[in-house]
Each structure stands twice: as structure tokens, then as C-alpha cells.
Amino acid sequence: MPNLISRAAAYAAVAHGKIDQRRKYTNEPYITHPFHVAELVASTGARPEVIAAAWLHDVVEDTPVTIQDIKVEFGNDVADLVAMVTDVSTQEDGNRAVRKEKDRQHLANASAEGQTIKLADLIHNTSTITLFDPKFAEVYLREKAELLDVLRKGDEGLMQIARRQLLGDSEDLSYQ
């Protein structure tokens, strides 16, 4: 039987693949993003459940998969981690600023492991947004700075990378 991480990677690939989800700027298959997020999380020495959740971190937001589906397939621990990093705001909540504040407050309550997944997500997204969309990057980097204020429990090494990206360190901006 495949291990938890391999199963999560395959599950995420199928979920994102079924809707032919692509990366916005590169048109690559979307699964390249969870791959990089999981790789960053694994680099912290995280438990297999956390790495599995990193693979799955966007499936609930972006595909028909639900938290309950994750719970059935991977257990409560992985499902709880995915829920911690899944946006809770909806369009009905208001404008972008209001929605981002709601999601930021949700992430403030996430565990250290959940916040580590979110830091890895931010690092990889920053690398593509700053490279391909400098105008939106101005907005995104402001939002990221506010988010970093609440992700204090996350992995310190990833936090340092994320902070350096805000300062424009080209070595960290090129992570892909």
C-alpha cells in the first residue's frame, strides 16, 4: 500500500487534473504548485501528515473535493490541517480587503504545522507573482506582509525566506 504522502500527491494530482487546473501565469499543470509547497514543508522535517496536507492544501478551495472527503481518505489529522489553510471567506463576505482579513483571522488560529504549510504556499506563490505580474505583486506583497504578522507559529526558516521575499532578495524570489 502506498504511503500517506504518495497517496496525497496522487489524490491532489487527480483532483486538480480532473478540472484541468493550470497555474495562472505559466499554464503549467496546477499540481506543480502543491509539489513545491510539499517540498518546502518536507524541508522543515515535518511529519508525513503535514507533508500530505501540503499536497492537498488547495483541493478544497479549487476542486469539488470537500474536507469530509479528505477526512475519509486521509483521516482527521490531515483533514484538520487542510481545513486550517483553506480560505473561509466567500464573495458574499465583501470586497477583497474584507475577505483577506477574514482569512487572515482564520489562519491566525491555525497550528504551527498549519501555519508552516501556509508559509510554504506564500513562498511559492510569491516567486511566480513577482516574476510574472509585478503590478499585482504590489497588492499581493502588502497582503502577504499582513499575513506574516499572524503566521508567527510557523517554521522559522520558512518565515525568514518569506520575509526576505518581501524585501526583494532575488535568490529567494527565484524559488520555483
By annotation, the residues acting in catalysis are: 61-62
Helices 32-42 & 4-18 angle (0-180, nearest 10) = 160
Q: Which helix (H) or strand (E) holds 107?
A: helix 96-108
In terms of Cα–Cα distance, which of 127, 149, 157, 123 is closest to 38? 123
16: amino acid identity, one letter: H
How far is 113 from 154, CA to CA, in rounded Å? 6
How far is 122 from 102, CA to CA, in rounded Å? 17
How far is 35 from 170, CA to CA, in rounded Å? 22
DSSP string, 113-158: HHHHHHHHHHHHHHHHHHHH-HHHHHHHHHHHHHHHTT-TTS-HHH
